[in-house]
Structure 1
Amino acid sequence: MLPLLLCADVVYVGVIHPYHHGACLLFTNAKKNVLCEKPLAMNRREVQEILASAKKNDVFLMEAVWTRFFPASVEIRRLLAQGELGDVKMVRTEFGLPLMHIPRLSQKELGGGTTLDLGIYCLQFISMVYNGEKPESIQATAVCRETGVDETVVVALKYSDNRLAVLTSSLAMTLPNSAIIVGTKGSIQIPDHVWCPTVLDVNGKVTEYPLPEPYLPINCIKSTGMRYEAEEVRQCLLKGLKESSVMSHSDSMLLAELEDEIRRQKGVFWTTEQQTSCFSLYSRTG
């Protein structure tokens, strides 16, 4: 294993959530480029430490939010940049699957709960649409288990100029797993599979973005889509970049801040945290 690690150009961190922080520090301190599964870490403090280590050791680091690199997501960003929807006023998205029987999702000590596992897909989508802007306010409500993990969460976010977003995330039920962006000139809908989109409905015109066929059997739906984030890492390294402009370090910091605030409002804290250290960067009202 050690000789293989020594010659590796990039290390992919895919351990369970609580171990992302330690693994990323281990590899960045070993001068290795890192692609780390989402969430990058359990909270803002850990994310800060990982980013600082990557900068100190002059290595590439990216949070593996594979959704952002799907061709459908690339097209969404293109349409938004060209103003095809006019001024975006509303974003709504949901992601839910009945997965609470899986220990890593139901147990607090394993980093369980919907916010960091499924909710992050909704948060990253909203943040992508609003171009990495911080919301002015967040209001979160949730159903939590006695074990201290969040099972279902609904979050409303308000941005500048009265722009809104609403997300629903659940590990207890199957949701439509769709998304819609509404602007003054039109809308974009992802009808299903919001975390790995291959179909877009733009003002009633439906376009498919099929993925390449796998060479070997795959374990998870649409797993061939992981090639796009891998190619992004490759291109960044070829250009000598230390972060991706599509999923930047500031994007990861924003996601961590949003996740922290949602957890704070729901009273969900990890065993390594003190409640007083889970700061609020946002108002509950607005």
Structure 2
Amino acid sequence: MATRWGLCGAGKISHDFSVALRTLPPQDHQIRAVASRSLERAQDFAKRHGILEAYGSYEELANDPNIDVVYVGVLHTEHWRAGLLFLNAGKNVLCEKPFAMNSGQVKDLVNAARTNKVFLMEAVWSRCFPTYVEVGRRLREGALGEVKLVKAYFGSPQLDIPRSVERELGGGALLDIGVYCLQFILMVFDGERPESVHATGVLLDSGVDESVVVVMKFSRKRMATCTFSIAVRLPNDAVITGTKGSIQLCRPMHCPTRLVVNDKVSEYPLPEPDLPLNFTNSTGLRYEAEEVRQCLLQGLKESPRMPLADSILLTEIMDEIRKQVGVVFSQDSQKCSSET
């Protein structure tokens, strides 16, 4: 029986997610409905992607009994509110990264999922890529010896994009692209909390971060560094160095199709899309969709590839980075239920 998807949001990422799902067997994945705050926009989206139902409110999607899991692809300032709506309606949820605006909101989502006994996953699609799966396997086998240093870079010029630069839209390099560097480091160190986090950066006039450098120290004298920017293009790769060798995730490190392990190159090509995509390698969204399906078939309430504990720790680290760099959002003064 197919996993029946509902889409919350009819924007660019929902378009790419829909295209990616069509690279998977239709007997396994079906999009049954799309919801937008604009009914006309939802209807246009549904027509383009051959979706049966189009709703002009998220509440209608939450009440649709024919939906197994909702993909939340709206602005991240809305993730907390939309996520709680679907979770409290008893829906399984795959929510785009960043999970929410701060760790308080993330803990609210996690608590709601556990209270309602439903599946919840932060859509860090990178974790489900074959390249990332292979990195995890090599690390478990000890192919690099003891990991000593991890480096990650992600820079993408996007100062002309409002959602990237405006504070009320949750802008800044950290929440948009820095999250990819940080999740990679946490994956390499198996979800371990760093002993220290030191961050410095420069802000735009709007008060959000333009470029940030982060240094983290882990137990057993292990280090990680990352640099991310929405002003310039960076190498956009990631390197793990150990006592017996290295692994490089080639550009783009958040959705790579090439892996170099001790100088040996492996390729993991993606299927071709049937419509133009908005973002690089977006047919790779198929991997996280299939991960959700497999988790649901096994009765799991979270993904072992992106556990909820990793999402909480990831957001707590981002909270600390924002504190050190000086980025404050209105949501930071909002009282979350996890704090009451």
User: TM tier, shorter chain?
Assistant: over 0.9
1:89-168 → structure 2 map (5 Å cutoff): 89-168=148-227
1:116-265 → structure 2 map (5 Å cutoff): 116-265=175-324
After superposition, what is the alpha-carbon deviation per residue over 1:229-255, rounded to whole angstroms, capped at 9, x for unaligned?
A: 000000000011100011011010011
Aligned to 2:19: none
Alignment counterpart, residue 87 of structure 2, candidates 19, 28, 34: 28
Letter in 2 for 1:127: L
Tell me the TM-score normalized by structure 1. 0.94
Unpaired runs of at least 5, structure 2: 1-54
Aligned to 1:37: 96
Distance in 1 between the 2:315 and 2:278 partners?
Answer: 28
Letter in 1 for 2:324: Q
Measured after TM superposition, the shift of residue 271 of structure 1 is 1.6
Distance in 2 between the 1:220 and 1:5 partners?
Answer: 29
Distance in 1 between the 2:278 and 2:161 partners?
Answer: 16
After superposition, what is the alpha-carbon deviation per residue over 1:106-128, rounded to whole angstroms, capped at 9, x for unaligned?
A: 00000000111100000000000
Measured after TM superposition, the shift of residue 274 of structure 1 is 4.1
Instruction: Summarize the Cα distance change of 1:218–1:5 in structure 2 as closer, same or farther, 3 Å threshold.
Output: farther
Q: What SS does the corresponding residue of 1:273 show, helix, strand or coil?
A: helix
Letter in 2 for 1:266: V
* Contact in 1 for aligned 2:102/2:332 (Cα 8 Å): no
* Contact in 1 for aligned 2:211/2:231 (Cα 8 Å): yes
Distance in 1 between the 2:261 and 2:234 partners?
Answer: 22
Aligned to 2:142: 83
Q: What SS does the corresponding residue of 1:75 show, helix, strand or coil?
A: helix
* Contact in 1 for aligned 2:98/2:179 (Cα 8 Å): yes
**Which moves more between the two structures, 204-213 or 234-243?**
204-213
% identity of equivalent residues? 57
Letter in 1 for 2:280: I
Distance in 1 between the 2:156 and 2:196 partners?
Answer: 27
Measured after TM superposition, the shift of residue 218 of structure 1 is 2.2
Distance in 1 between the 2:307 and 2:319 partners?
Answer: 19
Measured after TM superposition, the shift of residue 147 of structure 1 is 1.1
* Contact in 1 for aligned 2:102/2:331 (Cα 8 Å): no
Unpaired runs of at least 5, structure 1: 278-286
Aligned to 2:27: none
Runs of 4+ in 1 over 4 A off after TM superposition: none
Letter in 1 for 2:241: V
After superposition, what is the alpha-carbon deviation per residue over 1:31-51, rounded to whole angstroms, capped at 9, x for unaligned?
A: 000000001000010001010
Q: What SS does the corresponding residue of 1:54 show, helix, strand or coil?
A: helix
Distance in 1 between the 2:147 and 2:64 partners?
Answer: 45
Letter in 2 for 1:211: L
Aligned to 1:280: none
Q: What SS does the corresponding residue of 1:7 show, helix, strand or coil?
A: coil
Q: Does 1:54 align with 2:100?
A: no
Measured after TM superposition, the shift of residue 6 of structure 1 is 2.9
Letter in 1 for 2:319: D
Larger Rg: 2
Distance in 1 between the 2:64 and 2:163 partners?
Answer: 27
Q: What SS does the corresponding residue of 2:265 show, helix, strand or coil?
A: strand
Measured after TM superposition, the shift of residue 100 of structure 1 is 1.4
Distance in 2 between the 1:146 and 1:213 partners?
Answer: 40
Aligned to 1:281: none
Q: Number of aligned pairs? A: 276
Measured after TM superposition, the shift of residue 5 of structure 1 is 3.3
